[in-house]
Amino acid sequence: MTDVLRRGRASLAFSFFTQGVTFALLVTRIPAIQDRYGVSDALLPVFLAAVPILAGVGSVVTERLVRRVRPGRLLRWSQPVVLAALLGVGIGGHVAGLAVALAAFGLAVGVLDAAMNMLGVSLQRAYGRSIMLGFHAAYSLGGIVGASLAWVGAHWDLALWVSYLPVVAALLPAALVGSLWYVDGGGDGGAVRGTGEGGGAAFKVPFRMLLPLCLVMTFAYIGDSTVSNWSAKYLQDVLGSSEQLATVPYNVYMVTTLVGRAIGDFGVRRFGAVAVVRGGAVVAAGGFAVVAGAPGAWVGMLGFTLLGIGLCVLVPQTFAAAGRLAHEKYGPGASDAAVARLNVFNYVGFLIGSPLVGALGDAWSYRGAMLLPMVLVLVTLVYARSFAAQPDRYGGGHERPRTADVGRGSNGL
């Protein structure tokens, strides 16, 4: 059984890594995509907003699909679609083709994100200890690799298809082979099953139960999108940095996110999820405060570094808490429905975060605008108790056995 779980964990981590590479290659080459297809500045926001909206639709659909189809099977087939859609963006020549490729990308990403996190939550339960942050660390590593590959493509002025084709050719078959070892959480008392078996029963998880976690997810992604979309402009226009130096904060943010997630599981095991989430929220709020009050670029970069350390723990722990809470209250199988529902608020935060900060910055000041995500992330402290694991506590000497008996339901899933 230990070997089954280890292979499942490694294959799922590779899936997170692949998605990190894929998403970074898309979003970091947006200017090149705009030039290739002749998309106007007025039309570009429509294309950019369509992807998270359709991803939200894909996540809602996934909540229904997992009643009949196991998450591992959904992930097995959605990841190749995402990779193919990325290649479609690179080889197309007409705006209509771009629209179709981005629509396929968005819908498939919604399914993929939900399914990945469903599998991560069920594997964490099977392990009996926190491993969820490690999966998201693999995603962050993929994002760094993808952004680096995008930089190479931009530096050497490579055509989009030249940048995308080798990546897709390498990752797609590897992802398909890796998918053979996905491990699903069973719906019959918690058995761990392979991805070839049927889906579970229908579960309706009350939205009221998930509302605190949905808010935390939204606020975390508002913070993340603020860094992604405004860090370079803020450093250059507000703090007076050079154009070259303005590109550094996001890279620092990604690296600290990777480091924080790589070691975060140890913190959860030692101190518990509630303490880690509270600490992350306080550090992230402190980062926004430093950014808002920074007298110069280097202090501003210190703030963005703190943001990476603080925000990185919130999203993985929110998924873990939602799955655990639904499982405890409604039994095996409810976890998947809860994760799919929660995943929608990933895209809600991404959609509203950047425009909200931009509108506030234009109407007031960008320094003042940085205080908005600071306040929102502090709201997480109000809901921190929602992350408490009862009766199973990951951390503080309360770990359960790390192995499970396949097919007998003894792992507590």
Residue at 64 is within a domain = yes
Whether residue 168 is found in the same domain as residue 218 = no
Count other C-beta atoms under 10 Å from residue 204's C-beta: 10
388 shares a domain with 276: yes
Note the pLDDT of residue 31.
85
Residues of the chain with pLDDT under 50: 186-201, 391-413
Strand partners, 198: 69
Same domain as 385, residue 302: yes
Amino acid residing at 8: G
DSSP 69: B
Write down the pLDDT at residue 185: 66
Which domain does 58 fall in, by range?
A: 1-184
Q: Is residue 193 part of a domain?
A: no
pLDDT, position 188: 36
Cα–Cα distance between 55 and 16 in angstroms, integer? 16
**In a domain? residue 232:** yes
φ, ψ for residue 392, nearest 5 deg: -90, 125
Q: How many helices (H) and strands (E) would you count in the chain?
A: 16, 2
328/358 same-domain check:
yes
Is there a single domain that holds both residue 105 and residue 221? no
| Residue 239 sits in the same domain as residue 102 | no
Q: What tens digit of pLDDT does each residue of 239-274 get?
A: 998 877 887 888 889 899 999 999 999 999 999 999
SS3 400: coil
Q: What is the CATH number of the domain that holds 387?
A: 1.20.1250.20
| Contact (Cβ atoms closer than 8 angstroms) between residue 265 and residue 399 | no
Alpha-carbon distance of 16 to 135, in angstroms, equals 6
Residues 164 and 242 both lie in one domain: no
pTM of the model as a whole: 0.88
Residue 390 DSSP class: S
**Burial class of residue 156, CB neighbours in 10 A (0-12, 13-18, 19+):** exposed
338, 324 contact by CB (below 8 A): no
- Check whether residue 371 and residue 225 sit in a common domain: yes
Q: Cα(320)–Cα(316) distance, rounded to whole angstroms?
A: 6
Residues 39 and 156 in one domain: yes
145 and 223: one domain? no
Tell me the DSSP string of 134-199. Answer: HHHHHHHHHHHHHHHHHHHHHHTT--HHHHHHHHHHHHHHHHHHHGGG-EEEPSSSS-EEETTSB-
